[in-house]
């Protein structure tokens, strides 16, 4: 499979997504905190919204791959030892005593379902008794799963990250998401239709957590010579330095600089792409108060790692200054939520800064971020509303007309998806973009 990402806005050619499924149905209010959710989602509406997003990408010319299909393909193609290693690693991580050997006999389809949707204790007939199972049944809200579901897996940006011609394997900050990186990298490595080159994939689980926390929502590929990474709640300074020194600089001769944006460790801004995404040449969408400063407070600081040199702070420089150094002095920021501080805060929370580009000047955003869409209009973006209420043929015409405009923001209802705390960029893992002129 051809892969290659050297910008955030090149025409999208190939993208990996995970269509939400039984794993979000199996999550109740009792698991919200552990699963990193603020609320349970309505499954039918969530799937319909996700389908609209993938339809826009398909109509824009991208090949949309589904993770579940790749995983089944990979489980069929991988050797018995490789499949065994994955299942044992997952069950060991989840404390699923004696379950791995039971799951080994399952078909590839059933095993893929179990790895994503979770495995309930009631699915394990004939399994010898264990204290863990007895303890789970004694909980006030019975723990029904030996292997819990992965409701966050739809946020495909985080577990693995395409940087140039390789896929970097992430290290998830939360135990609830740890196995996502293992499942996604297994699918990409072993599915015959994929077999993409991986890097930074060694098992470093024995190291302290600070040395192994990296999620894709923090990574922006600016150009063949520069990458920007958020040093955030989910990605640590130690792991950024490891990634740069152990993988990015050695593997990519054209790469010269890695910028680290020093962010507060807060759930409301868990990743860099919750406050900054690129939407066109020299144009970014972002949360202005943090990026440029507000009320006498400076914007977020930036540090720089260069090939063969120790990291250094960029004194007095903001993220926008770093972007202008790399992409030109005319690089500008469109404020998420517009100019009103109230709407800036509200729409940052509802993923108003989390846009994904299908090409230069053509982006996908939730329709609820009305003040952000108005701010985009001042920069020549026309809103193209896509809805499930439109007949399929009409949607195709509407999307085609939007793609013919110089700049367009494709908006769709994300009432359920946004409640899960992720926008269009979070939900997509681009594998290939055409090069920019």
| CATH code, domain with 379 | 3.75.10.10
Whether pLDDT at 66 is above 70: yes
Q: Is residue 422 part of a domain?
A: yes
CA gap 172, 209 in Å, rounded: 10
**Given this model, what pLDDT does residue 38 score?**
80
pLDDT value for 142: 64
Beta strands per DSSP E along 232-313: 257-262, 276-280, 283-286, 301-306, 312-313
Report the number of distinct structural domains present in the chain. Answer: 1
The 3-state DSSP class for residue 159 equals: coil
Answer yes or no: is pLDDT of 31 > 90: no
Question: pLDDT grade, residue 160 (50/70/90)?
Answer: very high
Query: pLDDT confidence of 205, banded at 50, 70, 90?
Result: confident
Q: 278: domain range?
A: 12-70+151-433
- Identify the helix (H) or strand (E) that includes residue 132: helix 131-137
CB contact at 8 A, 60 and 403: yes
How far is 358 from 285, CA to CA, in rounded Å? 15
Query: Confidence class of residue 144 from pLDDT cuts 50, 70 and 90?
Result: confident
**CA 139 to chain CA centroid, nearest Å:** 33
193, pLDDT greater than 70:
yes
The proportion of the chain whose per-residue pLDDT surpasses 90, expressed as a percent, equals 83
Output 419 or 197, whichever has higher pLDDT: 197
Q: Is residue 117 part of a domain?
A: no
Average pLDDT for residues 334-358, to the nearest whole number? 96
pLDDT, averaged across the chain: 94
* Residue 4 located in a structural domain: no
In a domain, 232, yes or no: yes
**pLDDT reading at 151 higher than 80:** yes
Verdict on whether the full-model pTM lies above 0.75: yes
In a domain, 133, yes or no: no
Spatial CB neighbours of 428, under 8 Å, sequence gap ≥ 6: 15, 16, 17, 53, 57, 156, 157, 356
Instruction: Give tens-digit pLDDT for 297-343.
Output: 888 999 999 998 999 999 989 999 999 999 999 999 999 999 999 99
- Sign for the CA dihedral angle at 352, 355, 361, 367 comes to negative
**Which residue numbers are catalytic?**
426
Residue 368 lies in a domain: yes
Position 374 in a domain: yes
Both ends of the chain: CA-CA distance in Å?
23
**Residues 417/54, Cβ–Cβ less than 8 Å:** no
Residue 81: is its pLDDT beyond 70?
yes
Task: Examine residue 171 and state whether it is found in any structural domain, yes or no.
Answer: yes
């Amino acid at each position: 499979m051809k892969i290659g990402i050297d910008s955030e806005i090149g025409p999208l050619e190939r993208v990996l997504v995970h269509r939400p499924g039984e794993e979000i149905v199996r999550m109740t209010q009792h698991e919200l905190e552990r699963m990193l959710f603020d609320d349970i989602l309505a499954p039918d509406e969530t799937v319909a919204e996700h389908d609209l997003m993938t339809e826009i990408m398909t109509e824009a010319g991208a090949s949309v791959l589904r993770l579940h299909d790749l995983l089944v393909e990979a489980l069929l193609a991988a050797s018995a030892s490789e499949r065994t290693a994955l299942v044992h690693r997952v069950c060991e991580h989840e404390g699923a005593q004696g379950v791995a050997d039971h799951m080994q006999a399952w078909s590839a389809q059933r095993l893929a379902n179990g790895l994503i949707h979770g495995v309930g204790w009631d699915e394990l007939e004939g399994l010898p008794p264990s204290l863990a199972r007895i303890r789970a049944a004694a909980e006030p809200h019975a723990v029904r799963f030996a292997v819990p579901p992965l409701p966050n897996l739809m946020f495909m940006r985080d577990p693995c990250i395409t940087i140039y011609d390789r896929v970097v394997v992430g290290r998830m900050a939360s135990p609830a998401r740890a196995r996502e990186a293992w499942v996604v990298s297994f699918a990409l490595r072993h599915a015959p239709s994929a077999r993409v080159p991986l890097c930074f994939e060694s098992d470093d689980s024995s190291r302290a957590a600070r040395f192994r926390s990296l999620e894709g929502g923090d990574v922006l590929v600016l150009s063949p010579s520069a990458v920007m990474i958020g040093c955030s709640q989910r990605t640590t300074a130690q792991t950024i330095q490891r990634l740069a020194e152990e993988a990015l600089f050695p593997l990519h001769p054209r790469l010269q600089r890695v910028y680290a944006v020093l962010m507060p460790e807060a759930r409301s801004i868990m990743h860099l792409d919750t406050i900054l995404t690129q939407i066109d040449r020299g144009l970014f969408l972002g949360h202005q108060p943090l990026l440029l400063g507000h009320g006498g407070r400076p914007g977020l600081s930036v540090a720089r790692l260069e090939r063969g040199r120790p990291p250094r702070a960029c004194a007095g420089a903001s993220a926008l200054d770093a972007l202008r150094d790399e992409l030109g002095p005319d690089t500008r920021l469109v404020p998420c939520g517009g100019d009103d501080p109230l709407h800036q805060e509200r729409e940052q929370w509802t993923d108003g800064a989390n846009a994904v580009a299908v090409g230069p000047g053509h982006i996908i955003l939730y329709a609820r971020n009305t003040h952000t869409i108005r701010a985009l209009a001042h920069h020549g973006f026309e809103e193209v509303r896509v809805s499930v209420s439109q007949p399929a043929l009409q949607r195709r015409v509407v999307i085609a007309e939007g793609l013919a405009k110089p700049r367009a923001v494709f908006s769709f209802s994300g009432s359920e998806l946004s409640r899960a705390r992720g926008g269009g960029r979070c939900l997509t893992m681009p594998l290939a973009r055409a090069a920019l002129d």
